[in-house]
């Protein structure tokens, strides 16, 4: 029995590593399908709140993703770099953040409709117009 102890310890270590690796995946397919990222109800958001959300996008998101959203601490938010990301994935990332990265969850500060609105702004790149007006 004593000669099997090292092999058992190695096996337990490997199983633990595999469990930790797969348990820390940020987004699962099931979570993405459950996220209502593609549905947008902008009528629940006031004009003043949209202005505040745009300010948040430019300042708070820009502080990590670059002031022109070309990337920095966080990845680029330019349309060309988002084209392979689903609305649901963007929605979930904004709402829940990303484990083991500096990306925080924004759900304490925005409701689901507001997060959907943010995804729409990222898709349409409306922040570029706002950025140019502030120059």
CATH superfamily of 27-133: Cytochrome c-like domain (1.10.760.10)
Give ∠ CA 17-21-24 in degrees, rounded to 5.
135
Number of CB atoms found within 10 A of residue 11's CB: 11
pLDDT the model gives residue 83 = 94
- The residue ranges of every structural domain in the chain are 27-133
Question: Could you tell me which residue, 108 or 41, shows the higher pLDDT?
Answer: 108
pLDDT at 124 over 70: yes
pLDDT at 5 over 80: no
Q: In this predicted model, what pLDDT tens digit does every residue of 61-96 receive, in sequence order?
A: 999 999 999 999 999 999 999 999 999 999 999 999
Question: Could you tell me which residue, 102 or 2, shows the higher pLDDT?
Answer: 102
Residues 6+ apart with CB under 8 A from 68: 62, 131
Task: Give 103's DSSP letter.
Answer: -
pLDDT the model gives residue 129 = 74
In this predicted structure, which of 6-15, 42-51, 118-127 has the lowest mean pLDDT?
A: 6-15
């Amino acid at each position: 029995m004593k000669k099997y102890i090292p092999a058992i310890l190695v096996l337990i270590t490997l199983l633990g590593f595999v469990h930790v690796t797969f348990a820390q995946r940020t987004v699962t397919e099931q979570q993405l399908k459950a996220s209502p990222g593609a549905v947008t109800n902008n009528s629940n958001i006031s004009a003043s709140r949209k202005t505040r959300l745009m300010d948040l996008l430019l300042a708070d998101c820009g502080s990590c993703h670059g002031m022109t959203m070309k990337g920095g601490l966080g990845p680029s938010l330019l349309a060309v770099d988002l084209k392979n990301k689903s609305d649901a994935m963007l929605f979930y990332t904004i709402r829940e953040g990303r484990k083991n990265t500096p990306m925080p969850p924004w759900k304490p500060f925005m409701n689901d409709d507001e997060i959907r609105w943010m995804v729409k702004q990222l898709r349409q790149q409306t922040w570029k117009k706002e950025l140019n007006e502030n120059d």
